[in-house]
Structure 1
Amino acid sequence: MAAETQLGADISWTDFAEFTQQLAERIRSDRIPQTIVGILRGGMIPAVALAHQLDVRDVRAVEVTRTLSDGIQAEKSSAPRLRNPASLGNLVGRDVLLVDDVAGSGTTLAHTRRIIAGLTAARLRTAVLCVNQANWLLPQQPQAAIDYIALRCEGWVIFPWETR
């Protein structure tokens, strides 16, 4: 299923369940990964949901962020920052799915992808619930940079687990 596009998104728990189910079906048809890595903090929620739907028990976390706070339109650092790289463990030869809740500029996901690729995973795919195309900075389009996208929007995204 192709991701739909809308203006900013206020995602409900029902939407979240539908989006993760859609992503799981697409991922399953392309082979179930051995390891799922969620980008802390927001990416862990869809990562765990996908792990349950795909019956993947090896779930890991990595903290890579550009945002300096949790507010709407929060200030960003100039480059993504990695904290606690040891949390990824040994990924040599693994089929890995990297998951985040939202790809804004795309730089955090791309940076984390390079880190995991450097750990010699055998296969590396990416999945996000939403791409905020209004903030996209990478030279390639989101669909070329991300393997699985549930939703495309042109504005700020609010997830059900976020403080409003």
Structure 2
Amino acid sequence: MASIALDLSWTELHAAAAELAEAVRVDGPPEVVVGVLRGGMIPAVALAHLLGVRDVRGTAVTHTLADTPGAAKTTRPRVVNPASLGELGGRDVLLVDDVAGSGDTLDTAVELIKAAGARRVRTAVLVVNTVNWAARGRAEAPHATYDYLARTCAGWVRFPWETR
């Protein structure tokens, strides 16, 4: 089992969400906030509150087979119930996830949101795991990939809502 590289507290989580919210505010608040289920919903709801956005939705896109550090991944992200996004025609959407490793989950979710008709899709991530990012061979840096990024770390992240 992989070790924990970053063990976020609720206080640190709130600070990261506040940083993201401030950066989003500069570009204008979105009309809809979408969280990647499961982990992305908590920061999505936090951001929605901080930004005053009442339309919060979820999309289930999974890439890991378990919640444990170093868990195996599927070859491609799995989409569950793509219709859960509803109609997003002409809307400005902020997509939020707790962690990005390879970036494949968010790439898939962005495509789902575009297919639902969003006019604009911005991405916000609390933490990028740079070990998985590098292993995936992505040429661009995480800060250049996501519109809003609070932290990076070299390894597995444990969030305050996860089993201790």
Is the TM-score greater than 0.5? yes
* 1:42 aligns to 2:34 (yes or no): no
Equivalent residue of 1:129, what SS? strand
Aligned-pair Cα RMSD in Å: 1.1
Q: What letter is aligned with 2:157?
A: V
Task: Report what 1:148 is aligned to.
Answer: 148
- SS of the residue corresponding to residue 93 of structure 1 reads coil
Task: Figure out how many residues of one structure are paired with residues of the other and give that number.
Answer: 158
When the two structures are superposed, what TM-score results if normalisation uses the length of structure 1?
A: 0.93
Gaps of 5+ in 2: none
Q: Secondary structure, in 3 states, of the residue corresponding to 2:150?
A: strand
One of 130, 133, 147 as aligned partner of 2:130: 133
- Aligned counterpart in structure 2 of residue 103 of structure 1, from 87, 100, 103: 100
Structure 1 partner of 2:61: 64
1:162 maps to 162
On the 8 A contact 2:86/2:116 being kept in 1, the answer is no
**What letter matches 1:162 in structure 2?**
E
Q: Is 1:85–2:66 an aligned residue pair?
A: no
Q: Which residue of the partner structure matches residue 18 of structure 1?
A: 15
C-alpha offsets along residues 67-123 of structure 1, whole Å, 9 cap, x if unaligned? 111111111100001001111000110000000000011110111111212222111
**Partner letter of residue 142 of structure 2?**
P
Give TM-score scaled by structure 2 length.
Answer: 0.93
Give % identity: 57
Match of residue 27 from structure 2: 30
- Shift of residue 26 of structure 1? 0.5
Q: Distance in 2 between matches of 1:139 and 1:122?
A: 27
Give the counterpart letter for 1:10 in structure 2.
D
CA–CA separation in structure 1 for the residues paired with 2:85 and 2:116: 9
In 2, distance between residues paired with 1:8 and 1:30? Answer: 31
Q: Structure 1: state its 5+ residue gaps.
A: 1-6
Partner SS for 2:155: strand
